[in-house]
Amino acid sequence: MVKGNAIAGQSGGPTSVINSSLAGIVAGAKEFDGIENMFGMRYGIEGFMAEDIIDLGAEEPAVIEGLKTTPSSALGSCRHKLTEEDLPKILELLEKYNIRYIFLIGGNDTMDTIHRIEAYAGQKGYDLTGIGIPKTVDNDLYGTDHTPGFASAGRYMALSVAQAGLLSNDMKKVDQFVVFQCIGREAGWLVGATATGKRTPADAPHIMCFPERAFDKDAFLAEVKKCYDDYGFVSVVCGEGITYADGSPVSASQTKDKFSNVEFGAMGGTSAAMAIHRMIADEFGFRGEFQITESLPMCAADRAVQLDIDEAFMCGQKAVELASQGKGGVMVTLERVGEASDYECTTSTAPLGDVAVRAKPMPDEYINDKGNFITKKFLAYVRPLIGDLPEYTKLNYKKVKP
């Protein structure tokens, strides 16, 4: 066992429980004699290269405990893509601060970063143990049953769609449809999670558009018409990265730059929700709304799931335990045991090299044959994570007779 200092960092978009993983790392470091000092890199690996390093061990215990229920990324984040030119600088700083253990909390790109840093250090003869801790609300990391952050984001979206569904039903004489857009470029886990608040066929959502399935405009509009005829309003949930069969994004603008690249967002593009909104309005003349939550599900601590907080902390602690055993080059994973009705979860590992190059779309068995809604198998998977949702009262609408 090599004695030295440890450093932790956070990368990419946050979650409402990412800081709980950080708290788990700090707590675990205090129990491991091999770690002399516990540091933190401000703004991820980019901040580390600028030597923006803090002493996490100097923080009061109450502050570390408070991280469990604090949203966003306490250390600050970045989306820096590691280059070959960065590696010598990083190794120089690891040696300068005698850092022998590095923990990064993040998604695929983060796992690639830590994998490359550890491999480079090994090539240069520097003893370094790198462990990844999973994080993403998209739930698309390979090798883990689910990711810390997904359950809380799923609950956020499920509550939002269920509550707005009540509003849409009551306001259907004014607005005949609503479109919700979920984050997740290539995976529809959050799209599917919005169905957990649905009690009856009339309840929102009615139609789902998954990145895993090609968007068929004609079939979609036919389903919109059917739902409107059945319920008097339509609730649609779509992934931000849905595409047509030819691979072109539904969100694509017709505006192109001087290089013939389609422009998006502020550059003249649109969003999937806005594009779908326009389709429905143009086809049927309906008035409707679209909701794009963007980063809100990533940082809504008021809707965080306690299970999610606890599992994120567990992942942080497990990372240090693995480091103490010299088991580097892996990401901590969550492994489900037992039946769905008796949920239990433990930890395992996946090689960093595998996680860095793979994504985890929703399995076919979780999406119905039409490709526009989830199956009972998905509900069995997701409900233990999100927990019970409130049931809302409905009037009986008993008409008064003259």
Residue 388 a catalytic site member: no
Residue 260: count of CB within 10 angstroms of its CB: 6
C-alpha 188/C-alpha 282 separation (Å) is 26
The one catalytic residue among 86, 112, 138, 140: 138
C-alpha 87/C-alpha 93 separation (Å) is 10
Would residue 228 be called left, alpha or beta, if left means φ above 0 and alpha means ψ between -120 and 50 degrees? alpha
One-letter amino acid for residue 302 of the chain:
D
C-alpha 269/C-alpha 99 separation (Å) is 45
Q: What is the DSSP string of 74-117?
A: TT----PPP-TTHHHHHHHHHHHTTEEEEEEEESHHHHHHHHHH
Residues 6+ apart with CB under 8 A from 23: 64, 65, 67, 68, 313, 316
Residue 52: CA atoms inside 13 Å, Cβ hemisphere, count? 13
Q: CA 255, 257, 262: angle at the middle one, nearest 5?
A: 50
153 by Cβ neighbours in 10 Å (0-12 / 13-18 / 19+) ranks as: buried
Answer whether the bond into residue 205 is a cis peptide, omega within 30°: yes
Catalytic positions, written as ranges: 138
